[in-house]
Chains A and B, each alone.
Chain A
Amino acid sequence: MSRLYEGFLEAIRLIISFDPDLLTIVLLSLRVSLTAIIISTLIGVPLGALLGLKSEKKTRFFNKLIFTFMGMPPVVAGLIIFLILSRQGPLGVLSLLYTPTAMVIAQVFLASPIVIGLTTVGIRAKGSVVEEVARSLGAGPTLTAWTVIKESRFAILGAVITGFSRVVAEVGAVMIVGGNIEGHTRVMTTAIVLETRKGNFELAIGLGLILLMISFIVNSVLYSIQRGGENN
């Protein structure tokens, strides 16, 4: 218990003093996960909107596929991306393995199905009604699609935040494709695993606290926006 307490105090000191090692890891984590979630949003929201507006009968197979991928174990995702990016793999020539780009790819692979799946569900709730109202008011295809997305914005925001929470806390995939190289591909989750194994509990707890803080901030923002949505 005292080790946990001391680790906690040391962690606070590291955070307050802006420890350079800690800062490098945190910034890389945020860069990788934010890039991944932006790409996943750009892929996932239009696709989710498309699936949500098509009849369930026509998209049943795709929905099942997406929901399956939503629950994919990160290590399996990591393994697939590893095999694709490894020297003998189809994209081996790009030499992306053990780079932050590989980590972004793995995280996009994990987050996109979540964004697509939850957007589909959110839009299916009342997307077809919104679509008909927009069309009856003379909106063309682009404005109609935009209106449907705008009207489902709180559900979509939930999808994006869920995707972000998944990737920022993920360890298996980034460990496999990133390799946990210090100063290059080491992120918060992989660093926590390593530092715990080495017995450096202060840094591990510090990183854990920061992860929790990020999660708290992100969820607080979401909560405020969604409460705003209730009144809007």
Chain B
Amino acid sequence: MQGVSKIYDQEVLRVEHLTLTKGCIYGIIGPSGAGKSTLLRIINLLTRPDSGEVLYQGCPTPQNGPERLALQRKMSLVFQQTLLFKDSVWNNVAYGLKARGFPKAEIRERVNSLLEQVGLKKLASRGTDTLSGGEAQRVAIARAVAFEPELLLLDEPTANLDPGNIELIEEIITKLARQKKITVVMVTHNVFQARRIADQVIFINQGQIVESGATEQIFQNPQFDTTAAYISGRMVY
């Protein structure tokens, strides 16, 4: 990502340079309104930047057409507000696979195996409106990784969940990411969560990347006062 900026009423994001390494888990931290979700949406090609360039494996992202769709299909995004389709759990998890035209037998195998992994096999035929918040979020994550994207983007995946579910979802994310070698970019307000599961941390404030680096380096030896203030909970915003 080079020289990317996004303007709504005012500039909400300016990223001079950001490179993501394959197979890494990134934690994006920062106060509310810092531009974290906008950054995820730009990476996912849902939002077009007003200037700058997003490169994927060194190549510019196509502006339109099947090439853009093909690139979009290499990633998936789990939104902050979980939205599951009004259908069964099984059909929700199968959605991305069907969109990509996977053979029926493979869809069946992958969905069943994933539901087993996220502990929802018994709920496969249940309607999504009967699920608890934690179950719904597990379905959303299973749905996002079913087609094994190269890049998984998560926007506050454990917001509003109880500690038990937070732990379970963190475990699922790290397990799936390591097992399937998926690059993960997770936005979180919870600095402890970022420290628990991220390999690299990116701290964003007022639309700009203040600091990024290996998780322990950021937490133990932050280079900027704002980073130190944020991770220690002293930042007022």
Contact = CB atoms under 8 A, between A and B. Distances in A.
B157 to A, nearest CB: 14
A130 B92 CA distance: 13
Given A129-B83, A136-B44, A136-B77, A231 B96 contact: no
B147 interface: yes
A86 interface: no
Contacts of A135: 46, 72
B182 interface: no
Interface in A194-232: 229, 231-232
Given A151-B85, A231-B127, A137 B46 contact: no
Interface string A141-160: 00100010011010000000
A137 B129 contact: no
Contacts of A137: 76, 95-96, 99, 143-144
A133 B155 CA distance: 13
A138 B127 contact: no
Interface in B95-139: 95-96, 99-100, 127, 129-130
A231 to B, nearest CB: 7
15 contacts: A126-B83, A132-B46, A133-B79, A135-B46, A135-B72, A136-B72, A136-B79, A137-B143, A138-B72, A138-B76, A138-B100, A139-B95, A140-B69, A231-B129, A231-B130
Interface of B: 44, 46, 69, 72-73, 76-77, 79, 81, 83, 85-87, 95-96, 99-100, 127, 129-130, 143-144, 147
| 4 smallest beta-carbon distances between A and B, as pairs | A138-B73, A136-B77, A137-B96, A139-B99
